[in-house]
Structure 1
Amino acid sequence: MNTVSFDEKTGMQALEPVKPNKLVKPGHVEKREFEYVRHGTQALLAGMDVVTGKIIPLVRDTRTEEDFSDWLATVLASDPNAAGWHLVMDRLNTHMSEAAVLKVAEIEGTSAEELGVKGKSGILKSMETRAAYLGTPSHKTVIQHLYQE
């Protein structure tokens, strides 16, 4: 069983200095240029395998449920022979999204009838039902949602 701890950093500024730093003269402190061009922001989604320390990153302009689903697909593809996955993360709504459930359901072989319709029935009905499904201990891929403190 592979265990991965997940978190994200959003709103990271993508900055580029206008000029290079000045050369350092012996006995002086490096002088950095303060002017920069801002190229928007980026979101880093990353997980760390708690045994090996391997980092599985994904950098995007956004942090949507599709971005999280893409990260999840990257993790699962990183070790196709894994006996299972235990993913530990906070309770952000994208971590309990329809896209995350569909990705796990694909692995687990869950039927469309069991999944139901988002907001109406079955596993997809609510955030609570999706979180319960994703956290089912008997699944090959288990997403454990921890409360933020």
Structure 2
Amino acid sequence: MDELTGVQALERLHPDLPMTAGHVLRREFEYLRHGTLSWFFNFDVVTGQVIEPSWGPTRNEEDCLAHLQRLITSDPAATKWHILVDNLNTHQSESLVRWIAEREGIEQETLGTKGKSGILLSMATRAAFLHNPTHTIVFSYTPKHASWMNQVEIWLSILVRKLLKRGNFRTLDDLKQQILAFVAYYNRTMAHPFKWIYQGLTVDV
């Protein structure tokens, strides 16, 4: 799971000039801004599909929790979830800990107080609780400065290159519909698991 925030609905003021012999497509630089949307995306590493995206004007703790709740309820038959995220504070929030504790039958009183004691003491203690492998929902965190290790980042770069970078969006709803249409098209025609091929460096000493 990862977020793509501040996605702008930019409407080009003039039509593109089409490709001709010896010339690439040319685009006028002027545009109108119609606002932004923040998105949450989930990439299923087994199927290569993007599932249950959500969007809204903000990306805060409440938005993150609502998105994850929507994701989990999308498959009631699933008995175990493994969710890979980066170290953003909303991925280790008090509300997320309280939700997981409620699902696991853990008394809220045992969680402590945010910033003072117990599981809620710090981001590190909250992350350790959320990473507990005995839970039905287990969060794993990419190393700091290595969020690229989350495969959804690869998919986000595809979305940017194939749609957002050259898109023309007349309204926020137009932006939303074009992104959802791209997700559906990608899932139907291009989705496949990403296979890491980089083997690392070997150094002779």
Give TM class, smaller chain: 0.7 to 0.9
Q: TM-score, normalised by structure 1?
A: 0.83
Q: TM-score, normalised by structure 2?
A: 0.62
Aligned partner letter, 2:48: G
Gaps (5+ residues) in structure 2? Answer: 147-205
Q: Percent identity?
A: 49
1:1-149 aligned at under 5 Å gives the runs: 6-21=1-16, 30-55=25-50, 56-147=52-143, 148-149=145-146
* SS of corresponding position for 1:76: helix
Gaps (5+ residues) in structure 1? Answer: 1-5
Contact 2:19 2:26 in 1 (8 A): no
Contact 1:73 1:103 in 2 (8 A): no
Aligned partner letter, 2:43: M
Q: Which deviations, in whole Å up to 9, do the C-alpha atoms of 1:80-124 show, x marking residues without a partner?
A: 110110001111111001121122122111111122221122221
Instruction: Give the Cα–Cα distance (whole angstroms) in 2 for the partners of residues 127 and 32 of structure 1.
Output: 45
**Greater RCO, CA 8 A, separation 6+:** 2
Between structures 1 and 2, the one with greater helix share: 2
Instruction: Give the Cα–Cα distance (whole angstroms) in 2 for the partners of residues 48 and 98 of structure 1.
Output: 24
How far residue 18 of structure 1 moved from its aligned partner, in angstroms, is 3.1
What is the total number of aligned residue pairs between the two structures?
143
Query: Pairwise CA RMSD of aligned residues?
Result: 2.1
CA shift in 2, pair 1:25/1:130, >3 Å: closer
User: Higher mean Cα deviation, 110-119 or 81-90?
Assistant: 110-119
Instruction: Give the Cα–Cα distance (whole angstroms) in 2 for the partners of residues 120 and 111 of structure 1.
Output: 18
* SS of corresponding position for 2:119: coil
Contact 1:44 1:60 in 2 (8 A): yes
How far residue 25 of structure 1 moved from its aligned partner, in angstroms, is 9.2
